[in-house]
Amino acid sequence: MSTRRFLAESLAPVVDFIYPPRCPACGDSVGEQGGLCHACWDELVIPAEPNCRLCQRPFGDSGPKHGAICAPCLADPPVHDGISAGTLYGETARKLILALKHGRRIALAPMLGRLIAARIPETGAGENRIIVPVPLHRQRLRQRGYNQAALLGRELEKLGHGKLVVDALVRTKPTPSLGGLGAKARKKVLAGAIAINPKAKADLDGANVLLVDDVLTSGATSSTCVKVLKRAGAKTVRIACFARVLEEAKDLSRRAA
């Protein structure tokens, strides 16, 4: 047992006595720090199978077989090479994201990272996979103190899903929220906003990339990142996120087991 793990386990009773474990989503008592209560765990919606092999959109039992391609992807083929979403965006997922992103609850990263990791395909023999977080602009990074996508990427690295290259992408200018903007407006806002760090070019050449973020909404930011990474030489880019906004698919997905 490592010294770090030994100290953590030794101090756990003291920490629990001073700070009784609470569910980060609803505040109810739980058995251990960082865990969800049964009710909130049951509210997490896990993307179901069968689903689209390109975007993980659930088909439902009466739809196409697992591994087929959904109609939206056939009509407008994505620039990415797959999506691995831990959950579909819902009330509990929203609370967890806000707690991690704005509530400084960085201790949630391991749990969220495990949920993402469960959806990521295993690497092939000799596969060169690297983990790249969606970047924050330096102003936002100073304000928040950390990049939540990088925290999730670190957990995926610990779980054996690749090498984390935390600064492979840089955000060259601050961008406003994209919520409510149309496709053309989002494209205009993001034009030139994300670039490759020259120091990371060697890592990206021929690599299979996991592009990590906390939530995938319109996909505008992630698509921009994918295009930049592929221009830099990445072989494939799979998006890995904790929650994906996909309202029409909620009824076709299962609750967390």
Dist CA 63 CA 51 (whole Å): 9
Q: What is the 3-state secondary structure (H, E, C) of 86-155?
A: EEECCHHHHHHHHHHHCCCCHHHHHHHHHHHHCCCCCCCCCCCEEEEECCCCHHHHHHHCCCHHHHHHHH
Nearest of 73, 82, 125, 121 to residue 236 by alpha carbon? 82
Same domain, residue pair 138 and 151:
yes
pLDDT band at 255 (very low <50, low <70, confident <90, very high): low
> What percent of the chain lies above the pLDDT cut of 70?
82
pLDDT band at 15 (very low <50, low <70, confident <90, very high): very low
196-228 residue pLDDT tens: 999 999 999 999 999 999 999 888 899 999 999
SS3 call for 175? coil
CB 33 within 8 A of CB 108: no
> What percent of the chain lies above the pLDDT cut of 90?
49
Same domain, residue pair 138 and 212:
yes
Count of domains observed in the chain: 2
Same domain, residue pair 169 and 206:
yes
Same domain, residue pair 110 and 30:
no
Please check the confidence at residue 11 and state whether its pLDDT lies above 80.
no
Same domain, residue pair 20 and 96:
no
Dist CA 27 CA 180 (whole Å): 31
Among 91-105, 173-187, 236-250, the least confident range: 173-187
Q: What is the CATH number of the domain that holds 219?
A: 3.40.50.2020
Dist CA 185 CA 181 (whole Å): 6
Same domain, residue pair 146 and 179:
yes
CB 56 within 8 A of CB 219: no
Cα radius of gyration rounded to whole Å, the chain: 19
Same domain, residue pair 84 and 108:
yes
Same domain, residue pair 38 and 97:
no
Same domain, residue pair 5 and 88:
no
- Domain residues for 184? 46-255
Same domain, residue pair 81 and 34:
no
Same domain, residue pair 120 and 225:
yes
Average pLDDT on 125-137 reads: 85
Of 123 and 193, more confident? 193
For the chain, the distance separating the N- and C-terminal CA atoms, rounded to the nearest angstrom, is: 30
51-90 residue pLDDT tens: 888 888 888 777 788 779 988 899 999 999 999 999 999 9
Same domain, residue pair 106 and 179:
yes
Nearest of 15, 75, 89, 87 to residue 48 by alpha carbon? 87
Instruction: Check residue 95 and give its pLDDT.
Output: 93
Average pLDDT on 147-170 reads: 95
